[in-house]
Structure 1
């Protein structure tokens, strides 16, 4: 798959997730980018990280629950839904698109609800973060520095 086609697909996948979340807020302006696949000549994968801030903690929780319920109806397989293995124990959803094989990790971060937030956590905003990764694609014209 050509790099631009893979980036467009990642954007569409991310847009579907945002639409399903029904969140309205500030979405980070991150664009999909490519990184080389280890030991695959002309191989690359597309990553797309973005987050939403602005909605209330309750709205973010509802969006997370909605994604957990709705993504499987849209062809995504849920691999994990529960607390992350971190100090914050934020809620994490890990899914894979059965057709395109994109993997996605969605994390709900609610520092406003922490009982004893650190100085750093007090500066953070409640958010829903999404990290999408494509499978490894091969494009003979791809070079590792292409973005």
Structure 2
């Protein structure tokens, strides 16, 4: 999970501050509890650089993902009021999916501009 997140950061090619909450696991909803089937999720963000640099990084990711074995399944805007740019992609073997969103700074809550990334694994059975 962390290796995939690191690779996405490399593809963004941006030097900013990176949050790291670490990967979390949760049960996959489509399975019975006794099956012990889980999914890992690693949300993180890049911030602390000018918004124009974030836009360039977002565009760079758009071209780098297919070169690195990812299939972009959505490239548009999210469903939020602000209509933030969003890329959804799946790795070639469908082991991972990513949700990448670009947010402008907001005076409400004093939120900085950032690129928000969530890397999620496919469901897997615990050993």
Q: How high is the TM-score relative to the length of structure 2?
A: 0.92
Query: RMSD over aligned Cα, in angstroms?
Result: 1.3
Of the three residues 130, 133, 137, the one matched with 2:124 is: 137
**Please, which moves more after superposition, 65-74 or 33-42?**
33-42
Of the three residues 18, 35, 38, the one matched with 2:9 is: 18
Q: What SS does structure 2 have at the residue aligned with 1:62? A: helix
Instruction: Provide the C-alpha distance between the structure 1 equivalents of 2:40 and 2:54, rounded to a whole number of angstroms.
Output: 26
Q: CA deviation at 1:139?
A: 1.6
Structure 1 gaps of 5+ residues are 1-9, 141-147
Once the two structures are superposed, residues 97-121 of structure 1 have per-residue CA deviations (whole angstroms, 9 ceiling, x without a partner) of 0125211000000126xxxx5x33x
2:62 is equivalent to residue 62 of structure 1: no
Could you say which structure has the higher strand fraction? Answer: 2
Once the two structures are superposed, residues 62-104 of structure 1 have per-residue CA deviations (whole angstroms, 9 ceiling, x without a partner) of 0000000110110000011111121111100000001252110
- The runs of at least 4 consecutive aligned structure 1 residues that moved more than 6 Å come to none
2:79 is equivalent to residue 85 of structure 1: yes
Q: What SS does structure 2 have at the residue aligned with 1:132? A: strand
Structure 2 gaps of 5+ residues are none
Q: What SS does structure 2 have at the residue aligned with 1:85? A: coil
Tell me how many residue pairs correspond in the alignment: 124
Asked whether the 8 Å contact 2:20–2:43 carries over to 1, the reply is no
5 Å matches for 1:26-41? 26-38=17-29, 39-40=31-32, 41=35
- What does residue 76 of structure 1 align with? 70
Q: Which has the larger radius of gyration?
A: 1
5 Å matches for 1:49-128? 49-111=43-105, 119-120=108-109, 123-128=110-115
2:42 is equivalent to residue 42 of structure 1: no
